[in-house]
């Protein structure tokens, strides 16, 4: 699994060109060899820890897929993207090799009987650890399907356990029973093999209505929506599934009738199913996640024993980021009880503008679901989940976006009459004060539970943000005395992150450990041993880009003009010395972030001890082309108190950029006439604004962005106000409105099939048209079959080709 992956050729029929190819040449182009090598660098396997924490599954991440695979047939229905050949989601990552790692001996164990061309989409351990279930996406000519396979862990042998294909459009298609005797699966229904065919002749216009006197709502912009009744029938065909129960030998028993199941989960006791079914009417303006649904409890024969809710179609929420649905939401099983439902309901109608002391109630209801639901918690903000422990101990979290407030309460689920006890209160954007998240561990039924020690103590896993950078930690917190004990914290010159706690005492940890020159590898750390003997290496993944081994990395700190502290990661090419070599052309890559306080915005992010990962996706790849890189410089947009951050967006954005430019000039690594700015998505929006409102940069790289905020009138990013409430803000923030001020070169790249809310491909097309029509310098590159992020190897290589050529022409060769 540690061998280098071969360089993949372009598929037949596609043209490659030299790095000097002209804009008029057609076909996918290749960047210089130094950039190609980064694209084809080997990727480390992913790790899935077993329930008993003594084994791990190793899944090999494959090379990038070819455009032939990315261009497979794809249906776009109700916000979903479906491969009709496989009856599964069309865009997913998969693994091409599967093995086991023995944590005690550090030996890799091979598995026999795997499919010849393995494509693992999902993997799950049985609760008793005897088996691994995985779904394999198989293709045969023009047909395909999602197959269910089992690995016998002791025998290390794999076999296909089910001859019928899974339906994996809305879920992975399988779930283990808590006793590990079988799985609940979602199958393609018999008799629904052929999708409905529209005649192509319309029966009439498609019509929508708005009720008079309706309430004001946020109607976000979405892609891939239903357009007509033909689409609706096709959507119904692909989301209709048949539930079934299969044992370890593949014997199958159907569970009730087929329906449009969007979610199915087995109760911890193994005798009930929680199902959510999509219902008509559908909508042409919101995706499937907002369609109506029935929430029901069924027995294992499929009979409905309890209907919790019948939720209507929801076309928009009240204004504000704290808005939620007015009815039942976040339904789940209580992890530490055989069959108890838990859910939240807003008491303010889901409208944050309604002033109420108690905004959310959290309810529970136990089988046989005949007694009235009990109130578990009364929350002054929005319910954000529960960590279950036992009958007298669970932790419930609430959050309020408007103030960034977060609170955590201790409750006693078996004694709801007991008052909740506040465990933590603070701001979730205050990284320095974050206590960390409770450590959970799967119980014998496979459900996550709190690790509870003496004195009702729990373990907390935190990022450990400090003024000197992140230092991950594990704490033990006594809920009785409120005292904390630090069990572990990462220390210089390494960055060590806890992947899992292996024992109830928190003394044995699975971690990843890295330095700027050492790739993250897995280690066992035993805190009971002397400091010098605690670590045991489990993996030895080689450096993926040894040609860039000696990249210089530094976490730099500087100030904005108004005193806000900022940080960035400065990367310099191997062998570069500023006093000897002088300034370099520089690429700056950023992404703005909103804050409600200057103190939170000033906090240091990242760590100087992280591995110098050089990815094709970010700016670091251009170190190989002789550029200096300023990666992830802080671009905070602060709205203290009642002020909204975006009220002063442009002034703060420009101040952020000026501070970053001044810092690299002060250090002598760059000169003012050879600096480029770039970003993806909201970073592309930032790039266009900086080119429109400053002359700090000679060029901009804007990938998959949005540039006209009137096309996202019901809010964008973290902006809560609608266009009609803040027209001046929307207009001022839209770089499209200031395209005539863009005097420097702007490269726009966008996926033709972008499905991200708000970043329609039309945004880049119209921005390019504006700059071109106004006599500016711009280039538009639309990548076929690509979504918001790009997947095909040909697309990634061409993206680098275009970016490198743009930077070479307008930055590297720029004159003062």
Note whether 335 and 234 are same-domain residues. Answer: no
Cβ pair 358, 374 in contact under 8 A:
no
144-185 pLDDT per residue, tens: 899 999 999 999 999 999 999 999 999 999 999 999 999 999
The single-letter DSSP state of residue 180 is S
Please give the tally of structural domains in the chain.
3
Catalytic residue set:
681, 754, 788
**Mean pLDDT of all residues in 13-41:** 73
Residue 714, pLDDT score: 93
Tokens of 530: 């002397």
Residue 26 lies in a domain: no
Question: Are both 392 and 299 inside the same structural domain?
Answer: no
| Structure-token match 């019928």, residue found | 164
* Domain annotation covers residue 781: yes
Angle between helices 649-666 and 682-693 (to 10 degrees): 80
Give 199-242 pLDDT, tens digit per residue. Answer: 778 888 888 888 777 778 888 899 999 999 999 999 999 999 99
Task: Name which of 89-98, 318-327, 741-750 the model is least confident about.
Answer: 89-98
Residue that is last in its domain, among 450, 481, 510: 450
The predicted model scores a pTM of 0.93
**What is the distance between the alpha carbons of residues 584 and 598, in angstroms, rounded to a whole number?**
32
Order across the sheet with 55-59: list the strands: 46-49, 55-59, 98-102, 107-109
Structural domain boundaries enclosing 443: 318-450
Nearest to 788 by CA among 747, 759, 745, 748: 759
Do both 300 and 365 map to the same domain?
Answer: no
> Which residues contact residue 438 at a Cβ distance below 8 angstroms, ignoring those fewer than 6 apart?
387, 395, 450, 458, 459, 460, 461
For the domain that residue 712 is a member of, what is the CATH number? 3.40.50.1820
309 and 326 in a common domain? no
How many CA atoms lie less than 13 Å away from 484 in the CB half-sphere?
Answer: 12
Q: Is residue 141 very low, low, confident or very high in pLDDT (cuts 50, 70, 90)?
A: low
Q: Are residues 334 and 293 in the same domain?
A: no
Q: Look at residue 2 in the predicted model and tell me its pLDDT.
A: 35
End-of-domain residue from the set 295, 316, 337:
316
Alpha-carbon span 657 to 529, nearest angstrom: 48
Question: Are 150 and 82 members of one domain?
Answer: yes
DSSP 807: H
- Based on the fold, state whether residues 368 and 244 are members of the same structural domain: no
- DSSP string of 643-669? --GGGGHHHHHHHHHHHHHHHHHHTTS
Q: Are 557 and 620 within one domain?
A: yes
Last residue of a domain, one of 397, 415, 450: 450
Residues 323 and 238 in one domain: no
Give the pLDDT confidence of 712-741 residue by residue, as tens digits: 999 999 899 999 999 999 999 999 999 999
State residue 204's pLDDT score. Answer: 85
Same domain, 74 and 180: yes
Nearest to 585 by CA among 576, 593, 594, 597: 576
C-alpha angle 634/635/640, rounded to 5°? 110
Distances in whole angstroms, Cα of residue 366 to Cα of each of 21, 275, 297, 329, 375: 68, 16, 11, 17, 12
Cis status of the peptide bond prior to 281, with omega within 30 of 0: yes
Q: Is 728 exposed, middle or buried (0-12, 13-18, 19+ CB in 10 A)?
A: exposed
Same-domain status, 732 and 585:
yes
Compute the distance between CA of residue 434 and CA of residue 550 in angstroms, rounded to an integer: 34
25 pLDDT tier (thresholds 50, 70, 90): low
Q: For 491-548, write each residue's pLDDT tens digit.
A: 999 999 999 999 999 999 999 999 999 999 999 999 999 999 999 999 999 999 999 9
For the residues of 679-715, what is the DSSP string, one character each?
EETHHHHHHHHHHHH--S-SEEEEES----GGGSTT-
* 289: exposed, middle or buried (Cβ count in 10 Å: 0-12, 13-18, 19+): middle
Residue 236 shares a structural domain with residue 89: yes
pLDDT of residue 12: 38
**Residue 439 per-residue DSSP state:** P
């Amino acid at each position: 699994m540690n061998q280098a992956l071969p360089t993949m050729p372009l598929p037949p029929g596609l043209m490659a060109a030299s790095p000097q190819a002209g804009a008029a040449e057609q076909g996918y182009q290749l960047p210089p060899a130094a950039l190609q090598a980064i694209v084809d660098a080997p990727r480390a396997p992913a790790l899935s820890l077993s329930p008993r924490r003594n084994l791990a599954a190793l899944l090999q991440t494959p090379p990038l897929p070819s455009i032939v695979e990315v261009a497979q047939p794809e249906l776009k229905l109700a916000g979903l993207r479906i491969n009709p050949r496989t009856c599964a989601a069309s865009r997913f990552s998969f693994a091409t090799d599967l093995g086991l790692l023995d944590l005690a001996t550090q030996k890799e164990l091979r598995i026999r009987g795997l499919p010849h061309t393995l494509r693992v989409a999902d993997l799950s351990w049985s609760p008793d650890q005897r088996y691994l279930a995985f779904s394999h996406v198989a293709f045969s000519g023009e047909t395909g399907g999602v197959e269910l396979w089992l690995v016998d862990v002791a025998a290390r042998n794999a076999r296909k356990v089910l001859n019928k294909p899974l339906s994996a459009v809305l879920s992975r298609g399988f779930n283990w029973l808590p006793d590990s005797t079988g799985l609940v699966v979602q199958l393609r229904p018999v008799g629904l093999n052929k999708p409905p065919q529209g005649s192509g002749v319309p029966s009439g216009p498609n019509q929508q209505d708005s009720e008079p006197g309706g309430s004001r709502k946020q109607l976000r912009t979405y892609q891939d929506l239903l357009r007509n009744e033909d689409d609706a029938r096709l959507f119904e065909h692909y989301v209709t599934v048949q539930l079934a129960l299969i044992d370890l030998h593949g014997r199958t028993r159907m569970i009730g009738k087929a329906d449009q199941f969007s979610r199915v989960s087995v109760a911890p006791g193994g005798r009930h199913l929680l199902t959510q079914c999509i219902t008509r009417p559908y909508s042409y303006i919101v995706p499937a996640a907002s369609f109506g649904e029935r929430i029901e409890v069924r027995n294992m024969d499929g009979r409905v024993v309890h209907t919790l809710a019948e939720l209507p179609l929801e076309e928009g929420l009240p204004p504000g980021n704290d808005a939620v649905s007015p009815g039942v939401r976040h339904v789940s099983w209580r992890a530490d009880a055989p069959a108890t439902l838990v859910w939240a309901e807003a008491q303010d109608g889901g409208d944050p503008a309604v002033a109420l002391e108690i905004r959310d109630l959290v309810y529970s209801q136990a089988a046989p679901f005949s007694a009235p639901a009990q109130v578990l918690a009364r929350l002054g903000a929005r319910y954000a989940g529960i960590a279950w422990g036992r009958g007298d101990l669970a932790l419930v979290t609430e959050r309020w976006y408007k103030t960034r407030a977060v609170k955590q309460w201790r409750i006693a689920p078996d004694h709801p009459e007991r008052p909740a006890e506040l465990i933590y209160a603070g701001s979730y954007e205050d990284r320095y004060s974050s206590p960390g998240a409770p450590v959970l561990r799967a119980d014998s039924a496979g459900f996550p539970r709190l690790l509870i020690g003496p004195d009702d103590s729990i373990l907390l896993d935190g990022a450990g943000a400090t003024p000197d950078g992140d230092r991950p930690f594990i704490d033990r917190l006594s809920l009785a005395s409120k005292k904390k004990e630090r069990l572990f914290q990462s220390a210089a010159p390494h960055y060590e992150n806890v992947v899992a706690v292996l024992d109830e005492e928190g003394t044995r940890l699975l971690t990843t450990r890295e330095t700027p020159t050492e790739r993250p590898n897995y280690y066992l750390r035993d805190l009971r041993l002397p400091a010098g003997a605690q670590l045991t290496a489990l993996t030895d993944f080689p450096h993926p880009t040894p040609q860039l081994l000696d990249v210089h990395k530094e976490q730099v700190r500087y100030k904005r003009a108004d005193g806000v502290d900022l940080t960035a990661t400065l990367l310099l090419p191997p062998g570069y010395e500023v006093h000897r070599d002088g300034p370099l052309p520089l690429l700056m890559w950023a992404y703005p972030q909103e804050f409600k306080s200057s103190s939170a915005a000033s906090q240091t992010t990242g760590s100087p001890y992280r591995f110098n990962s050089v990815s094709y996706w970010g700016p670091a790849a251009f170190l190989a082309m002789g550029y200096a890189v300023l990666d992830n410089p802080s671009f905070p947009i602060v709205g203290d108190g009642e002020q909204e951050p975006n009220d002063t967006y442009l002034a703060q954005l420009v101040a952020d950029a000026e501070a970053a430019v001044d810092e690299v000039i002060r250090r002598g690594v760059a000169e003012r006439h050879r600096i480029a700015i770039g970003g993806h998505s909201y970073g592309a929006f930032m790039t266009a604004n900086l080119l429109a409102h400053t002359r700090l940069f000679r060029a901009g790289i804007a990938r998959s962005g949005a540039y006209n905020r009137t096309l996202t009138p019901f809010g964008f990013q973290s902006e809560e106000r609608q266009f009609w409430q803040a027209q001046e803000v929307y207009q001022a923030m839209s770089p499209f409105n200031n395209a005539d001020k863009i005097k420097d070169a702007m490269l726009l790249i966008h996926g033709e099939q972008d499905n991200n809310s708000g970043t329609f491909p039309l945004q880049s097309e119209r921005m390019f048209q504006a700059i071109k029509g106004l006599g500016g310098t711009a280039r538009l590159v639309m990548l076929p079959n690509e979504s918001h992020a790009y997947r095909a190897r040909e697309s990634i290589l061409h993206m680098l080709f275009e970016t490198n050529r743009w930077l070479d022409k307008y930055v590297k060769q720029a004159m003062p």
